[in-house]
Amino acid sequence: MSTFKQGKVLLIGRPNVGKSTFLNNLIGQKVAITSPKPQTTRFPIKALYEDERGKIIFVDTPGIFSQRGTPAAGWSLSQNINQSSLKEINDEVNLVIYMIDHTRRRDFEEAKVIGIVRKINKPKILVINKVDLQEKTYLPQYKFLEDEIPLVFQISALKKLHIKPLIQKVFDLLPEVPTNNDESKKNTTDEMENKAGYPLLNMDSKTFIAELIREKVFIMMGQEIPYTTTAIVDDIKEKGKQIIVIKARILTTNTRHKKMLIGAAGRKIKEIGSYARKEIALATGKIVYLDLIVETDPHWQEVYYG
């Protein structure tokens, strides 16, 4: 009887180490939003990687970060992100990938993640990301980790360098499942399906689209907009087989940020909406009409993430 490998792999690391980029490039489609800003992912995201060797369900936790120095305006949100990350760690996983960025100093954020990783009683792989960047490195600060985690891989998630050996090792460490175990296969597939037509995601369609919109805000607003902005999708309607009509809002905490998001003569919000609409259309293969507005809600963090 032939066998294949199947299991769950937890991705963990401090903000902006490249977990989302790794996941997106590995799976081959957008499964986690990415931006130059840390702490971009707010939801644990599950994505399915499958080939002839078996199936890997990757759980991409929101970046675990210390609450030290967190401004009051973002306090409840930061608490929820940490709780969400810790919940994923306590779920049943078969393997942990701990990702670090060698171009950044080891600091209190990293120390917190290391402490959590040490508490997980699962096989671990240490992944050193961004090896395509060599002009600045703090790799000696992380050398001690190789004594604790002997399986070490150096990759570039952005350039897709050295990914294949890492994935092979993941398959080596996952449990075997008989290939005639149709019920096991069905359960895995059912777990990853959703109504939106994005079979590799555990998120529903509204969450997926809202995250795409929020990504565009992060990327296009630069340093102007802090972490007091989110996107909410209120309605999705299909008109026929080829048209999707979406109503969505960008929420921010004060009027000044609302004006910045709208821009002179509404140009900025039109630009954000245009980029989001194009990516949604690409993901769905349909014509997309996106009705996007900006609202001020000082309490959105408590309402939607409290």
Two tokens at 255? 């009027």
**What is the C-alpha separation between 306 and 102, in angstroms, rounded?**
34
291 is in an annotated binding site: no
- The rounded distance, in Å, linking the Cα atoms of 75 and 195 is 33
User: Tokens standing for 22?
Assistant: 């790794």
Is 117 annotated to bind a ligand? Reply is no
Is 30 marked within a binding site? no
In the numeric block, the tokens 């972490």 are attached to: 227
| Separation CA 298–CA 306 (nearest Å) | 13
Q: 3-class SS at 296?
A: strand
Q: Is 20 annotated as a binding residue?
A: yes
- Dihedral sign for Cα atoms in the order 272, 278, 279, 284: positive
Instruction: Report which secondary-structure segment, H or E, holds 255.
Output: helix 255-262
CA-to-CA separations, 206 to 130, 233, 236, 290, in angstroms, rounded: 32, 5, 8, 13
How far is 157 from 22, CA to CA, in rounded Å? 5
**Is 31 within any annotated ligand binding site?**
no
User: Across the strands, what pairs with 46?
Assistant: 59
The answer to the question of whether 46 is labelled as a binding residue is no
Amino acid code (one letter) for 124? K
Q: Is 62 annotated as belonging to a binding site?
A: yes
**CA distance linking residue 285 with residue 60, whole number of Å:** 26
Length of the chain: 306
Please check if 131 is assigned to a binding site: yes
> CA 45, 212, 83: angle at the middle one, nearest 5?
35
Q: Is 64 part of any known ligand binding site?
A: yes
C-alpha distances in angstroms, 288 versus 72, 200, 232, 249, 274?
38, 21, 17, 16, 10
According to the annotation, is 14 in a ligand binding site?
yes
63 is in an annotated binding site: yes
Annotated binding-site residues read 13-20, 60-64, 129-132
Annotated binding-site residues for GTP read 13-20, 60-64, 129-132
